[in-house]
Chains A and B, each alone.
Chain A
Amino acid sequence: MKRHPLDVVSFVAGLIFFGVFAIWIGWKQGSLSMDDIGWITPSLLIVAGLAGVGASLRRR
């Protein structure tokens, strides 16, 4: 596998999946309440979206 230019699709999707994973672990451990998840999940999407926008712009 050779290094290639940033793949935005993989990046954003990976970020979201990793976020879901992290949030779930937090919830399972009891560190996160449903209220926490209520705002963490949207912020995850915002972060992933911004990251995607940023990465796309960077490729231009």
Chain B
Amino acid sequence: MATVPRPGHDGAMSDTSSADPDGFDPGRLRTAPMQMRRSRDDRYIAGVCGGLARYLNIDPVIVRVIMAALVVVGGVGIVIYLAAWLLAPEDGVGESIVESHLPRNDKTRMLGWIVAAVLAVGALVGSGPWFGWGWIGPLPLLGIAVLVWVLARPRQGPTATTAPPATPPVPPPPPTAAPSTPSALGDTEDIEDTDTDTTLRTSTADSDTTETDTIADADPRPAADSTASTTTTTRLPPTPPPPAAPTAPPTPPRPPATPRPRNDHGALTLLTLAALLAVMGVMSIVDQTGTDIDGPVYLAGALGVVAAGMLVGTWWGNGRWLIPFGAILTTTLIAVSQLPVWKTGEIKEAPTRSDDVLSSYEMGVGRIELDLTQVEDPAALDGRTITMDNGVGEIDVVLPDTLDVTVSAELNLGHVEILGREANGGDASTQYTDADDADPNVRIEIDGSIGNVEVTRA
């Protein structure tokens, strides 16, 4: 991998002028962030490694290997690479990507590196035991990558993105100018538009001659002005530009043709909602054919489709109509996820044998009622733990006198009453332990989001 020939870049003065051909100078590590340039010739992604290697006067392979290693270590390499991508100017370019988007300031690059350093340390600390993040770990970094991509994109596409809005205004004037000019002459006096000035001038120049006859014999009022201009044109045929110039300002009748690039007549919204229906249908079929799909999964699926539609709307069509759908789905999904199970209704049990007492009772929205007074062999319950989860609703437990209990109840919002001990309001948690004696002891763990919990003795 050949290092880049230095004389090729006359614009890249900072990192070439002081380059020492004799080899690696550790001191340059310190100045590299502020001085290096991204290589244009020796690059795989953005020329960061190539440029850094050139600045440090070492083999790019070394830099690339170290960078790759840092990527694995909590994604630090990604942060550094992206930071350099944004902060280091490319060969032959005066300013970095960030500097081209922000007001010119000497401090910009330094600030950028400080932010990058904080992010890198955050990534390192956050990754804890290196792979503690699991597969989700790179997600925030992925987000940063998206940001970099968004910022870096205009490099290729400034003309592509800005050209469409600029061009549409040009075609409209010729057709509208001819029929509407006489009426528009009066009310649009001096609208300035530098973009379309030249095109308008030409269009009015050739429509001028045709209009003057119609104005002359149809409308008496503007006749005074127009005859003046017609007389000048007829008298001085060799100089047509002067009369065209005064008539140019009042003509721009562009308003109705305002470009609305995002207007897709609801196409993206309909497309997304249709896709949503299809996805729901597929999930429903899967649900029917064995694999159980809970309600929240439907919601999540719908949210995924809506999110995808909106991301498409970032560049194609209008995705904004999907925001309310996304907002509703998000809220509902979060609310529904608070429920321990996707189930509504009532569980009402009064087991007669200790074997019939389950170790866990779960309800999404509804009521759980457990009556232990009918159990014939309460001694067999000794040492057991019963958990009861109810998302929204009521939990009632009735205990026999012969059974000692240790109860811990946690409720996010509501009323808890355990054998006379009460808690109310938000975060209502209560512990209760019977005095230790010969009776068999059962542990009951109650968990709920909103509702009412009651444990009583018969």
Contact = CB atoms under 8 A, between A and B. Distances in A.
A2 B144 CA distance: 27
B315 A24 contact: no
Contact of A54 (B150, B161, B317, B319): B150
A17 to B, nearest CB: 4
B147 A50 contact: yes
A7 B134 contact: no
A38 to B, nearest CB: 12
B241 interface: no
Interface string B82-99: 000000000000000000
Interface in B299-321: 300, 303-304, 306-311, 313-320
B362 to A, nearest CB: 16
A54 B149 CA distance: 10
B330 A17 contact: yes
Nearest to B126: A39
Nearest to A55: B150
Interface stretch (B250-258, B259-267, B372-380): B259-267
Interface stretch (B23-31, B135-143, B284-292): B135-143
* A interface bracket (residues with beta carbon within 8 Å of B): 35 or more
Given A1-B268, A5-B165, A40-B140, A17 B147 contact: no
Interface in B88-147: 101-102, 126, 133-136, 139-140, 143-144, 146-147
A40 to B, nearest CB: 7
Interface centre among A1, A2, A36, A46 (most CB of B within 10 A): A1
Interface in A5-44: 5-7, 9-11, 13-15, 17-28, 31-32, 36, 39-40, 43-44
A47 B315 CA distance: 19
Nearest to B304: A21
Secondary structure at the B interface, as helix, strand, loop or mixed, is helix
Contact of A22 (B139, B306, B317): B139
Contacts of B140: 40, 43-44, 46-47
A43 to B, nearest CB: 4
B143 A26 contact: no
Contact of B310 (A13, A40, A60): A13
Contact of A10 (B102, B150, B311): B311
A45 B133 CA distance: 18
A13 B296 CA distance: 21
B326 interface: yes
Contacts of B306: 17
A15 B311 contact: yes
A46 B139 CA distance: 12
A26 B317 CA distance: 30
Given A5-B165, A10-B310, A20-B330, A54 B147 contact: yes
A36 B151 CA distance: 29
Contact of A15 (B146, B261, B322): B146
B315 A6 contact: yes
B274 interface: no
B314 A14 contact: yes
A22 B267 CA distance: 26
A3 B126 contact: no
| The 9 nearest A-B residue pairs measured at CB | A14-B310, A47-B143, A4-B261, A17-B307, A18-B307, A10-B319, A1-B317, A10-B313, A14-B311
Given A7-B315, A18-B311, A22-B136, 17 more contacts: A2-B316, A4-B262, A5-B164, A6-B161, A7-B318, A11-B314, A14-B310, A24-B303, A28-B297, A32-B134, A44-B139, A47-B140, A47-B144, A48-B143, A54-B147, A57-B101, A58-B150
8 contacts: A5-B261, A10-B313, A13-B320, A13-B326, A14-B310, A24-B333, A50-B144, A51-B150
